[in-house]
Amino acid sequence: MILFGESFIPDTNTFFVLCVVPSDCKKVLDEFPEAKSGQYEIELWTSGKILTVNCDMKTDGGGWTIFHRRMDGSVDFYRNFTEYEKGFGNVDGELWLGLQYIKELAEQGSTEIRLDMARNDSTTGHETCQDFKLTEGNNYKLNIGSCTGLTGKRFAFNNQMSFSTNDRDLDMSSDRNCAVEGHGAWWYNSCTRVNLNGLYVAPGTICEFPGALDDFCGHWHYGFDKLYALRTSSMMIRRK
């Protein structure tokens, strides 16, 4: 993990010095092109908040800051708005970085977002969207441009939607609470085609949960594997 001044490259037993405290994983990679994937300490560019984040330095050229990760169901993602705003989970495992920090990271400049998923048999898929940002204050309205990587029902369906949680219903359905039905939190439209913060159930199965809407309540991406529960998912952003 990077420390101020002297910085350590994971898995190399090597230290280096950054001229500027990095504001994201892209800055780490710009300063040291040989940096490996792992945990780094960053200082957010406007608030000055110090965070330990996971950096992906391998995928599609590297420089990605990971803000969402599901891998085993060890962290409950059915949380209220305050928790989603501030962040929760474990930097070593499942996590949600926090809407306020995701928003600030994306405000540094033109930013792309990437969603990665794996089925129970470990086959993988992804989609990448350009011009990612969150707007309208603490509504954290999703803004994305063109998307590539998957076809059909995917993340673009949620474009221009505010972030909804079980205690803060901002979706487009007048008679439904998509966060409750989906047992998660998301930029719900009416309701969604991606539910990566939904209930983690056995990979490859269909969600069933009392109080939620059967089939819909799980951890899934319809454009990748319809409503079948994913084994893993991650979301990450990179300044261009």
pLDDT reported for residue 211: 86
User: Mean pLDDT in the chain?
Assistant: 93
Q: Is the pLDDT of residue 106 over 90?
A: yes
Q: Is the pLDDT of residue 4 over 50?
A: no
Structural domain range at position 187 = 63-239
- Write out pLDDT tens, residues 108-127: 999 999 999 999 999 999 99
Q: Is the pLDDT of residue 8 over 90?
A: no
Residue 45: alpha-carbon gap to chain centroid: 19
Give the CA distances from residue 55 to residues 28, 194, 233, in Å, rounded to whole numbers and listed in that order: 9, 23, 15
The answer to whether 31 touches 20, Cβ cutoff 8 Å, is yes
pLDDT reported for residue 151: 79
Running DSSP on this structure, what letter comes out for residue 134?
A: E
Residue 117 lies in a domain: yes
Look up the CATH number of the domain holding residue 196.
Answer: 3.90.215.10
Residue 150: alpha-carbon gap to chain centroid: 17
CA distance linking residue 180 with residue 239, whole number of Å: 33
Residue 70 lies in a domain: yes
Residue 34 lies in a domain: no
How many residues are listed for the chain in this entry? Answer: 240
The answer to whether 176 touches 153, Cβ cutoff 8 Å, is no
- What is the number of domains present in the chain? 1
- Write out pLDDT tens, residues 177-193: 999 999 999 999 999 99
- Write out pLDDT tens, residues 46-104: 999 999 999 999 999 999 999 999 999 999 999 999 999 999 999 999 999 999 999 99
Confidence of residue 152 (pLDDT cuts 50, 70, 90): confident
Question: Which is more confidently placed, 151 or 224?
Answer: 224
Give 149's strand partners: none
Residue 23 lies in a domain: no
Mean pLDDT of 135-163: 95
The answer to whether 186 touches 210, Cβ cutoff 8 Å, is no
pLDDT reported for residue 18: 53
pLDDT reported for residue 6: 45
Mean pLDDT of 136-146: 97
Confidence of residue 10 (pLDDT cuts 50, 70, 90): low
Mean pLDDT of 21-39: 95
Q: Where are the alpha helices (DSSP H) in the chain?
A: 25-31, 81-86, 99-106, 178-181, 222-225
Residue 43 lies in a domain: no
Lowest-pLDDT range, 115-119, 138-142, 212-216?
Answer: 212-216
pLDDT reported for residue 57: 98
